Amino acid sequence: MARNFNGTSDLITVPAVSNALDISSGPMTVSLWMYPTSVGTEHDPMAKWGASGPGQNFLIALGSPSLSAANQLGFVVGRLAPITGVFGAIATAITANAWYQVTLAVDANAKYSGSPVAIFSLAGAASGSNVQAFRENRTAGGVNLNIGGQQVTIPTFAGRVAQAAMWNTVLSTYEVGALQAGVSPSRIRPQSLVGFWPLYGTSSPEDDLSGHAYNGTLTGTTVATQPPGTAY
Amino acid sequence: MSTQTNYIPLTDGVSDNTGFAFYNVTALSNWLSGHWEFVHGQASYATFSVRVPKNMAVTPNASIVLEIFANDATAGHTANFQTSDALVSTTLDVGSLASASPQAFTTTSTAYGRVTLTFAVQSSLIAGDLLVVKIATATTGTQPVANMLVFAYLKIDQTV
Going from the first residue of chain B to its last (160 residues), give the mean pLDDT of each consecutive group of 10, the final group possibly shorter.
96 95 96 96 98 96 98 98 95 97 98 98 97 96 96 97
Listed residue (A33, A25, A20) closest to A145, CA to CA: A20
pLDDT at A153: 66
pLDDT at A80: 73
pLDDT at residue A185 is higher than 80: yes
Mean pLDDT computed over A159-170:
97
Contact B19 A112 (CB under 8 A): yes
SS3 breakdown of chain A: % helix, strand, coil, rounded to 5? Answer: 5, 40, 55
Listed residue (A106, A100, A145, A153) closest to A127, CA to CA: A100
Contact A175 B19 (CB under 8 A): yes
pLDDT band at A53 (very low <50, low <70, confident <90, very high): confident
Average pLDDT, chain B: 97
pLDDT at residue A155 is higher than 90: no
Q: Alpha-carbon distance A34 to A216, whole Å?
A: 17
CB B132 within 8 A of CB B47: yes
Strand B78-88, strand A145-147: pairing: unpaired
From A169, A181, A192, residue closest to B25, measured CB to CB: A181
Mean pLDDT computed over A174-195:
96
Chain B, nearest residue to A168 by Cα? B17
> What pTM value is reported for the model?
0.92
Q: Alpha-carbon distance A163 to A158, whole Å?
A: 16
CB B110 within 8 A of CB B129: no
Q: What residues of A are in the B interface, CB distance below 8 Å?
A: 111-112, 169-172, 174-175, 177-178, 181-183, 187-192, 229, 232
**Percentage of chain A surpassing pLDDT 70?**
96
- A-chain residues within 8 Å CB-CB of B22? 172, 174-175, 178, 183, 188-189
pLDDT band at A85 (very low <50, low <70, confident <90, very high): confident
pLDDT band at A82 (very low <50, low <70, confident <90, very high): low
Instruction: Classify residue A17 by burial, with Cβ atoms within 10 Å: 0-12, 13-18, 19+.
Output: middle
pLDDT at B100: 98
- B-chain residues within 8 Å CB-CB of A174? 19-20, 22, 24, 37, 39, 147
DSSP assignment string, A6-69: ESSS-EEEE--SSSTT---SS-EEEEEEEEES--SS-EEEEEE--SSSS---EEEEES-TTTS-
pLDDT at residue A68 is higher than 90: yes
Average pLDDT, chain A: 93
Cα A219 to chain center, whole Å?
A: 18
Q: Alpha-carbon distance A12 to A102, whole Å?
A: 18
Q: Alpha-carbon distance A176 to A92, whole Å?
A: 18
- B-chain residues within 8 Å CB-CB of A189? 15, 17, 19, 22
Contact B22 A112 (CB under 8 A): no
CB A23 within 8 A of CB A212: no
Mean pLDDT computed over A73-78:
94
From B22, B25, B27, residue closest to A174, measured CB to CB: B22
Q: Alpha-carbon distance B55 to B49, whole Å?
A: 18
Chain B, nearest residue to A178 by Cα? B24
Instruction: Classify residue A83 by burial, with Cβ atoms within 10 Å: 0-12, 13-18, 19+.
Output: exposed
Rounded to 5°, angle at Cα B148 from B144 and B151: 150
* Top-confidence residue, A142 or B97: B97
Rounded to 5°, angle at Cα A223 from A219 and A229: 130
Q: Alpha-carbon distance B143 to B146, whole Å?
A: 8
pLDDT at residue A232 is higher than 60: no
* Top-confidence residue, B56 or A229: B56
